[in-house]
Chains A and B, each alone.
Chain A
Amino acid sequence: MASDREIKRRIRSIKNIAQVTKAMEAVSASKMRRAQQQVLATRPYAQKAQEVLNFLAYLPQNKRFLHPLLQERPIERAMIILITADRGLAGGFNTHIIRHAVHFSETLNKPTTWVTVGRKGRDFMARYGYPIVAEFTQLGDKPTSLDIAPIARVATDEFVGERVDAVYVCYTDFVNVLRQVPVTKQLLPIEPLKPEVKWSPDYIFEPDPETILDLILYRFVELQILQAVYESIASEHAARMVAMRNATDAAMDLIDELTLSYNKARQERITREIIDIAGGAEALRQALEQ
């Protein structure tokens, strides 16, 4: 049995750890809320861009001319954009998304190149020798479309240059605080949906529908990556928040247990001392009597 002084020291150090994890939980909670708002804020643009894209892609004159980003080819080579966090201490967050992405590339069973967003994904891919075309780290907690543009550029260049026939993005979808799901989305080629909204056929276009479609398509790719990054950031903080809460709870349990041992050890020491004293007094009394 450890001495009570030793136990006391451990309790103190665990209390410190609990304080740190509690603070990290609070920080993650506020960052997560912010990231959730970011996700929501992209919706109006996404909705409108999709609407315009569908409309333009299904225009009779645009159906004849197939934009390079819409071209479907048999998939010989693929590219995966893997979105992870820069940091750990977020439970299984990074492991899950990396495992999901690797599994996805195995089911594709085609030569795959990788673009990593986030340090953890890059470290893993580099360590196991996966071919990395480009890596992006340190995007921070509030990247803008300007930060995303270079990622989109890599994807569209590789696709238009026919070095890959499909581009996927693997990220962690934020469902709620307790649930974040790794998902894969096809980024390229873009598959326009049939327009739902009834559009007037006599639209005026300036300069022409092809040029507008071209811009919208490139913006759409950027937007999808931006959304995936925002979802991933929200998920990362949610995962870290839960991990830190668990750590705090575990620390509290440990403190309770150690406090019990401490009290026992202290009681034992006191009892032992009393026995010593009582024993000493008894011995003295007997010595005096003789």
Chain B
Amino acid sequence: MKTIAHLWNALPGPDQVKRLVIIFALLLSCWFALRQRLVPKTFGDAGHYRLTAIDSIEAQPVSYLGQSVCVECHDDVSDLKSASYHRDLSCEICHGPGAMHLEDPETYQLRPPKGRGLCTICHAYNPSRPTGFPQIDPMQHNPLEPCNNCHDPHDPTPPSTPEECGACHGEIARTKAISHHAGLNCVYCHETPDEHKHNPRAAIPHKPANRQFCGACHGENANSGREIPRIDLESHGGSNLCWECHYPHYPEAY
């Protein structure tokens, strides 16, 4: 015992530090020991993961088959779909995994869910979606009606061309309806080719390309109602087009 005390005192440094060093050394050893036990054998062999994880994932049963397998039997549907706007959607996105169906098509039928929940994942109005992407407000667009009552998911173009622009551009229509421009028809400003109704992205409506268009109502000498705000087209706004600063669907905003 005396020898241990003698040895302990012979070690350099204050007593507290020596004890702390021992504790930290013990903790570090525990950490190394735990690491030896807990880190899987193949961890780090090919990257920051367990290499054998690939085998265990491979061993999982296959649920999804991929579109190429569906096409082998359902070529009629595939032909229809591949010419439609849904051509890039794989069958199993809506119908669910098809592996069981392939094994026993009679017992395991693949039916997509009815109702409006699935379609609105992509088609409910969301401001961050690209302009022109078909979006609806589920509360206003034929509420409670299942989507596939009117739209064939394999060729989802609306069965009849919408008469009002607001059917597709609902957000803009609603904004315009409460603005001073509510009385103007969309086509008053947007020259719209007929083709736009059938193929919206191939034939895009025009926007006013000069300042004189707005000046027809808002210019100083315009022949329009006295309550309409007037500006001097020569001095106001430099060479910018009016709609570069003023939002025409809600002109009061700026």
Check if A and B associate. no
